[in-house]
Amino acid sequence: MRLDTIKKTVNGKTYTSHLLRHAYRDNGRVRHRTIANLSRCSSQEIEAIRFALKQKGGIQQGPAGSDDVRIQQGLSIGALFTVSTVAKRLGIVQALGNSQHAKQALWQVIARVLDQGSRLSAVRLASSHAACDVLGLQSFDENDLYLNLDWLCTEQASIEDRLYRTSRVDGKSQLFLYDVTSSYLEGSQNQ
């Protein structure tokens, strides 16, 4: 791939086009396929694209004379945002509330969905995800999450009641689940 700059003069006026092109062979002849017309890009953008195309192996070196350029991975947001959106739609966020304890409980739910593990692993997971930014959490450690379990224990009944109320449509339950794993039947003439 390369960036071609084409200048054309028509009626005394010069037009400049910047085309991103790919060269290939067709029956022994060299052909050019235009991938994109970049004529509307600024001169700085054109130079940045030229630089990127010259670096083909990677851009880690940065432009000449700029040793202060660093490339690093930012905090992950995709999975966290997706699971928190599902939690909002299911009414979990509303049932938990808006306190820091509620947000920590929500993080524990999300952490369990993203990667099952201990409270310490949930703290480590938060350091690689944007949990504090997305959920509005203050910084926390595993001791805070263990204390949060105490809060969840005392609030469990009211949280379950709020979840139940948000899941009902027109005051009627739509789905009932029951456990029959302890049932045991025997018979000699099952028809």
Residues in the chain: 191
Query: What does pTM read for this prediction?
Result: 0.55
The Cα-based distances of 91 to 69, 115, 128, 168, 175 in angstroms read 44, 22, 26, 11, 16
What residue segments make up the domains of the chain, in order of their start?
A: 2-54, 78-167
What is the arithmetic mean of pLDDT over 6-17?
A: 91
- Looking at residue 2, its pLDDT comes to 85
Residue 172, number of CB atoms within 10 A of its CB: 6
Give the residue ranges of DSSP H helices in the chain. Answer: 43-54, 78-90, 92-96, 100-114, 119-128, 131-135, 142-167
Cβ-proximal residues to 142 (8 Å cutoff; 6+ apart), any chain: 118, 119, 120, 122, 123
Query: Which residues are CB-contacts of 164 (< 8 A; sequence separation ≥ 6)?
Result: none
**In which band, very low, low, confident or very high, does the pLDDT at 191 lie, cut at 50, 70 and 90?**
low
**What confidence score (pLDDT) does residue 49 get?**
87
The percent of residues in the chain predicted with pLDDT above 70, rounded, is 85
Taking residues 33-37, report their average pLDDT: 90
pLDDT, mean of residues 72-93: 90
**Is 77 in contact with 134 (CB distance < 8 Å)?**
yes
Per-residue pLDDT tens over the stretch 102-154: 999 999 999 999 998 899 999 999 989 998 888 999 999 999 999 999 999 99
